[in-house]
Amino acid sequence: MFKFKHHQPYIAILMCTYNGKKFINEQLKSIYNQTVSDWILWVSDDGSKSETIDILKSWQNNLGKERMVILPGPLKGFCQNFLSLTANKDISARFYAWADQDDIWKPEKLHRALTILNQYPLHTQSLYCGRTELINSNGKKLSLSSPLHNKPLNFSNALVQSVASGNTMVFNQTARELIATGYCKNPVAHDWWAYMTVSGTGGTIFYDPEPMVLYRQHDGNIIGEKKGIRSKISRVRNLLCGRFRTWNAANVGALSLIKDKLTENNKEKLAIFSQLSYERNPVNRWRLFRDGGFYRQTTFDNLAMKAAAWAGLL
């Protein structure tokens, strides 16, 4: 078990809830059973019915209000709910961990993440994320999430792909300050935003191939892990219907607000990526995509993205 000398909480767990009564007890129990004990749990509830609130208050009564804080969410969806907690100036810790309401953490999750993050200087932004173990609504193991494919985790990848789920992410205070800038700025998703901001500003991304989260797949998931041929078809459909184009425009708009914090090289990449949306000549679009060096983690996705760039769908 970690032993901490600091009087402030070593880690703030940032949990968002919405009508989660079916699974939330298991998640809260897994947080309570972490081998790291110096944490405070902050919960932002986005308008749940009374059953979820009752469960949360029951846990708060047992843990104490100094250990678990319940706040009303902004009622603007899951992304802004997580970012509202991340931007909350009343929350102070050395590290921060996002938590979904329906997953299960392995007991060593926080210990493993903090062991890795402590290898990097606190004054530079660092983000831990990783693979997950997929389970069904009954907790039965399904499979592992899709692995990365040995391609670098950097801004060229982050602009066109989110590689890890927010339920795996732990980050330091310096990264927190960057990620918090997305609150009320409408990026597509909090985890994708975290990847873009930390990589774009020259920070460190560590992807753990060992799953530390049991990621529950069920009908109530807002976003779940998508694998196999159906996932590929879904991504192609998203490209053809212009959904990626809409997402990219939202992310570019949000990133423009922290443009001065990006590295010089990544400022250029963002400028090139921004041009893709309004360049009408397909040859020029192809050149922009090539010159920007943008890529996804699999061959199939890369081919689809290049075709989309040629067709003006990015």
Sequence ranges of the domains in the chain: 11-216, 228-311
**Cβ-Cβ contacts under 8 Å for 230 (sequence gap 6 or more):** none
The more confident residue out of 80 and 299 is 80
102: its two tokens: 């329906």
Helix (H) / strand (E) element for 236: namely: helix 228-240
- What would the pLDDT profile of 117-169 be if each residue is shown by its tens digit? 999 999 999 999 999 999 999 999 999 998 887 899 999 999 999 999 999 99
Tell whether the model's pLDDT for residue 309 goes beyond 50.
yes
Q: Mean pLDDT over residues 19-32, rounded?
A: 97
**Cβ-Cβ contacts under 8 Å for 197 (sequence gap 6 or more):** 125, 175, 178, 179, 181, 182, 203, 255, 258
For tokens 């990847």, the residue is 195
Q: Do strands 11-17 and 39-45 pair parallel, antiparallel, or not at all (unpaired)? A: parallel
Helix intervals (H) in 118-227: 155-158, 173-179, 190-200
- Give the model's pLDDT for residue 271: 96
- CA dihedral over 268, 272, 278, 281, signed as positive or negative: positive
Tell me which of 63-77, 184-198, 252-266, 282-296 is least confident: 282-296
- What would the pLDDT profile of 35-70 be if each residue is shown by its tens digit? 999 999 999 999 999 999 999 999 999 999 999 999
95: its two tokens: 């590290």
What is the rounded CA–CA span in Å between residue 73 and residue 46?
4
User: What phi and psi values does residue 61 have, to the nearest 5 degrees?
Assistant: -65, -35
Work out the percent of the chain whose per-residue pLDDT is above 70: 90
**Cβ-Cβ contacts under 8 Å for 20 (sequence gap 6 or more):** 48, 52, 101, 102
- Give the model's pLDDT for residue 1: 39
Helix (H) / strand (E) element for 275: namely: helix 264-276
- Give the model's pLDDT for residue 278: 86
The fold of the 11-216 domain, in CATH, is: Spore Coat Polysaccharide Biosynthesis Protein SpsA; Chain A (3.90.550)
- Give the model's pLDDT for residue 311: 83
**Cβ-Cβ contacts under 8 Å for 186 (sequence gap 6 or more):** 80, 250, 253, 254
- Give the model's pLDDT for residue 230: 58
The more confident residue out of 314 and 62 is 62
What does the DSSP assignment read for 151-174? Answer: ---SHHHHTT---S-GGG-EEEHH
Assign 2 a pLDDT band (cuts: 50, 70, 90): very low
Q: Do strands 95-99 and 104-105 pair parallel, antiparallel, or not at all (unpaired)? A: unpaired
pTM: 0.91
Tell whether the model's pLDDT for residue 78 goes beyond 90.
yes
Assign 201 a pLDDT band (cuts: 50, 70, 90): very high
- Give the model's pLDDT for residue 232: 56
What is the rounded CA–CA span in Å between residue 97 and residue 110?
8
- Give the model's pLDDT for residue 131: 97
User: Is the Cβ–Cβ distance between 147 and 227 less than 8 Å?
Assistant: no
- Give the model's pLDDT for residue 158: 98
The one-letter code for the residue type at 277 is S
- Give the model's pLDDT for residue 5: 40
- Give the model's pLDDT for residue 171: 98
